[in-house]
A and B are shown apart, each in its own frame.
Chain A
Amino acid sequence: MRNSPFFHFLTLEFFKERKKHIGVIAISLVILFLLSSVLFISSSIRYSLEQTLEQEPDFVVQRTQGGERVSVPIEWTDGLLEIHGISSVTPRVYGRYFFKSKEDSFLVVGVDFMDEQSHKALRTIMDETDLKQFLKGENMLVGEGVSRYLKAHFYPKGYTFLTPKGAFKKVHLFKVLPKESNLIANDMIIVPIELAQEILGMSEEEVSDIAFNVPNDDEWENVEDKISSFHYDLRVVTKNDIKKAYENLYNYKGGIFLILFLITMVTFVLILYQRYSMVYSSERRHIGLLRALGWSINDVLKLKFFETMMVVVMAYVLGVALAYFYVFVLGAPLLREIFLGGVNLHNSITLVPILDFGILSSIFLIYAVPFVSAVLIPVWKIAVTDPKEAML
């Protein structure tokens, strides 16, 4: 290195002040670790959600009456089929089924197994299922959360639903859905449409909504306009709307968290300022001596600046690395509940490792900028130490 005597001395200096530095690094580590973990978890879930959302149909047509959602008459499908540019029109039947305890509920999803699926994930699931066997009897596909619940409540082979009409319907458990679909399918029960209608108390002409795709992005606005004019009580929800809603939710949650975090940072900064300002007379003599021996203020500033950066970079790298390990290798044992909380059943999704430049730079900026700002003035104060101090 061009200036290796300088860096040699820098290392010696750093080592000499190591007690002070290690204290600061330790606190920084805690802060950075928490911050990074939260950001990693949230962005990983967001990413998984985005992936899942990609597979949602582009458009969903619903019916509202008096502000409430009601079932959609199946004739509406005909009107949709006539519009150009629309593909895979799928009437869907789904609803919440509450178990005896009234606390746990599952999402019952009815699927027309004969038809083209607008939901790509369902398509994959169906491709893997032996449909002939499945359709022979009253069977259901369940998500992991459901299967666990059923097992826990001693329903290993199937379940007898109590329909709103008062009848009982026995359904066999055919297969458990794969782990990868857990984000959406954890508490899902998939049955043929007619069965779903029965369980949920809907007639054969009723569906919950109608989904379809519009492959050409530019047509979306057109299609939305056209369809909205079909019926007065028709409501269109686009995939973009959902995306935006989720984005807003994450932004909101993330923003609140960040603001809380800032309060911690303020405390941290104050501690830093105080710590670095506490210059013992020995350090003043120390710097005074350097100055007496020919070090200019610039030289001392350079030394102190590099010392600070070493602390910052060390804490940053360690903090982020530890967080990465905690979140993506250990699966973030305690923190994940904050984000996955609010989901009905215990969800065991795997967090996909996301290393985003945006997150890394955000973490760095929110840590390094306040840090260096806090120590700027104390460092300057000590750098301008009068060399006379050495004579004392």
Chain B
Amino acid sequence: MIDDVMIIIENLNKHFRSGDALSKVLKDINLEIRAGECIVLKGVSGSGKTTLLSIMAGLDRPSSGKVLVEGESISKLPDLHISHFRAQKIGMIFQHFNLFDHLTAAENVMIPLIPAGLSMDEVNQKVQKSLKLANISHKTQSTAGRLSGGEKQRVAIARALVSDPAIILCDEPTANLDRDNSLKFIDILGQLHDMGKTIVVATHDPLFDSLPFVSRIIPMEDGSLVSTVPNDTLAES
């Protein structure tokens, strides 16, 4: 349940250098996320929430500071290890879905499993399970490019779940969805929360403002966390 700390971020800074100019994208971020928690990073584009998410996922490295996941520092892991970490522990859902349009839904979903060296049967099993969870198994053999926005997002969810990761990170997941599909997405997110997964959503969609399973809404502005606003509607566990 919600006891140990999953993600610890200490004094995180990230800056980009372009020529002589130094642009600080993240300034002194300190954050603790407990296992099984679902938090929302709220802010407009440019507030740094995407960069923070990337660093949490091990896709980007901080300029200074530490990121610990399950007690292990991930900010300076060599490529082999950080890739393994990403494949096993993280499921990412992107704003633009980021599917391979020329591949089928099933083929898209199996990609994170390929480096693990499993047999074709094991892979198929996991893929089917994921597609079912994301409510998209009826489109298993469809080419991803031909799916609707909502269906694509669900394939993306299936892909994010296929290796049963402990952490799900979503970057503006509903930005390209209509209201109907957004609600469906939130529904699935709720199910994932019930499964015990740690979820971080970076968004400025107001639909996330008052969800029962969201424990905190953290506003971000100009690279800093403004304050931690606990979600009043969350019943104490």
* Interface hub of A5, A9, A289 (most chain B Cβ within 10 A): A5
- B80, B88, B113: which contacts A5 (Cβ < 8 A)? B113
State whether B88 touches A294 (Cβ < 8 A).
Answer: yes
Minimum CB distance partner of A292 in chain B: B59
* Interface hub of B57, B59, B114 (most chain A Cβ within 10 A): B114
State whether B171 touches A391 (Cβ < 8 A).
Answer: yes
State whether A391 touches B100 (Cβ < 8 A).
Answer: no
Stretch from B115-123, B192-200, B206-214, B218-226 forming part of the interface with A: B115-123
**How many of chain B's residues have a CB under 8 angstroms from any CB in A?**
34
- B94, B103, B107, B115: which contacts A294 (Cβ < 8 A)? B115
State whether B102 touches A16 (Cβ < 8 A).
Answer: yes
> What string of 1s and 0s marks CB contacts (under 8 Å) between B83-110 and chain A?
1101110101010001010110001001
**Across-interface contacts of B103 in A (CB, < 8 A):** 12
State A3–B87 Cα separation when bound (angstroms): 17
State A39–B194 Cα separation when bound (angstroms): 70
**Across-interface contacts of A289 in B (CB, < 8 A):** 98, 100
Is there a chain A Cβ closer than 8 Å to B111's Cβ? yes
**Across-interface contacts of B171 in A (CB, < 8 A):** 391
State whether A390 touches B94 (Cβ < 8 A).
Answer: yes
What is the minimal beta-carbon distance from B51 to any residue of chain A, in angstroms? Answer: 9
Is there a chain B Cβ closer than 8 Å to A216's Cβ? no
State A387–B61 Cα separation when bound (angstroms): 11
Is there a chain B Cβ closer than 8 Å to A100's Cβ? no
Is there a chain B Cβ closer than 8 Å to A295's Cβ? yes
State whether B119 touches A4 (Cβ < 8 A).
Answer: yes
Q: How many A-B residue pairs have CB under 8 A?
A: 80
If A286-B100, A388-B60, A391-B50 touch, does A295 touch B115 (CB 8 Å cutoff)? yes
Is there a chain B Cβ closer than 8 Å to A299's Cβ? yes
Is there a chain A Cβ closer than 8 Å to B216's Cβ? no
Is there a chain B Cβ closer than 8 Å to A290's Cβ? yes
If A390-B98, A391-B171 touch, does A290 touch B80 (CB 8 Å cutoff)? no
Minimum CB distance partner of B82 in chain A: A296
* Chain B residues numbered 158-192 whose CB sits less than 8 Å from any CB in chain A: 159, 163, 171
* Interface hub of B57, B88, B98, B102 (most chain A Cβ within 10 A): B98
**Across-interface contacts of A16 in B (CB, < 8 A):** 102
Is there a chain A Cβ closer than 8 Å to B65's Cβ? no
Interface of B is mostly: helix
Is there a chain B Cβ closer than 8 Å to A63's Cβ? no
* Chain A residues numbered 285-334 whose CB sits less than 8 Å from any CB in chain B: 286, 289-299
State A30–B163 Cα separation when bound (angstroms): 46
Minimum CB distance partner of A390 in chain B: B98
Is there a chain A Cβ closer than 8 Å to B30's Cβ? no
State whether B123 touches A5 (Cβ < 8 A).
Answer: yes
State whether A5 touches B59 (Cβ < 8 A).
Answer: no
Is there a chain A Cβ closer than 8 Å to B79's Cβ? yes
**Across-interface contacts of A290 in B (CB, < 8 A):** 111
State A5–B119 Cα separation when bound (angstroms): 7
Is there a chain A Cβ closer than 8 Å to B149's Cβ? no
Is there a chain A Cβ closer than 8 Å to B142's Cβ? no
State A390–B98 Cα separation when bound (angstroms): 8
State whether B84 touches A292 (Cβ < 8 A).
Answer: no
State whether B84 touches A391 (Cβ < 8 A).
Answer: no
If A293-B92, A390-B59 touch, does A9 touch B114 (CB 8 Å cutoff)? yes
If A5-B118, A292-B86 touch, does A298 touch B80 (CB 8 Å cutoff)? yes
What is the minimal beta-carbon distance from B213 to any residue of chain A, in angstroms? Answer: 26
**Across-interface contacts of A257 in B (CB, < 8 A):** none
What is the minimal beta-carbon distance from A14 to any residue of chain B, in angstroms? Answer: 12
What is the minimal beta-carbon distance from B15 to any residue of chain A, in angstroms? Answer: 15
**Across-interface contacts of B113 in A (CB, < 8 A):** 5
State whether A291 touches B102 (Cβ < 8 A).
Answer: no
Is there a chain A Cβ closer than 8 Å to B140's Cβ? no
**Across-interface contacts of A297 in B (CB, < 8 A):** 79-80, 83
What is the minimal beta-carbon distance from B23 to any residue of chain A, in angstroms? Answer: 15
State A3–B113 Cα separation when bound (angstroms): 11
Is there a chain B Cβ closer than 8 Å to A8's Cβ? yes
Is there a chain B Cβ closer than 8 Å to A230's Cβ? no
State whether B87 touches A294 (Cβ < 8 A).
Answer: yes
What is the minimal beta-carbon distance from B127 to any residue of chain A, in angstroms? Answer: 10
**Across-interface contacts of B87 in A (CB, < 8 A):** 293-295
State whether A292 touches B123 (Cβ < 8 A).
Answer: no
**Across-interface contacts of A296 in B (CB, < 8 A):** 79-80, 83-84, 115
State whether A299 touches B83 (Cβ < 8 A).
Answer: yes
**Across-interface contacts of A390 in B (CB, < 8 A):** 59, 94, 98
Is there a chain B Cβ closer than 8 Å to A339's Cβ? no
* Chain B residues numbered 18-61 whose CB sits less than 8 Å from any CB in chain A: 50, 54, 57, 59-60
* Chain A residues numbered 162-209 whose CB sits less than 8 Å from any CB in chain B: none
State whether B120 touches A5 (Cβ < 8 A).
Answer: yes
- A2, A12, A293: which contacts B112 (Cβ < 8 A)? A293
List 21 A-B residue pairs with CB atoms under 8 Å apart, sorted by A's residue number.
A2-B119, A4-B119, A4-B120, A5-B110, A5-B114, A9-B107, A9-B110, A12-B107, A289-B98, A292-B57, A294-B84, A294-B87, A294-B88, A294-B112, A295-B111, A296-B79, A296-B80, A298-B79, A299-B114, A387-B60, A387-B86
8 interchain residue pairs of minimum CB distance: A294-B87, A296-B83, A294-B86, A4-B120, A387-B59, A299-B115, A293-B112, A5-B123
| Other A-B pairs, 10, CB within 8 Å; known A292-B59, A297-B80 | A12-B102, A290-B111, A293-B111, A294-B115, A297-B83, A387-B60, A387-B86, A390-B94, A391-B94, A391-B171
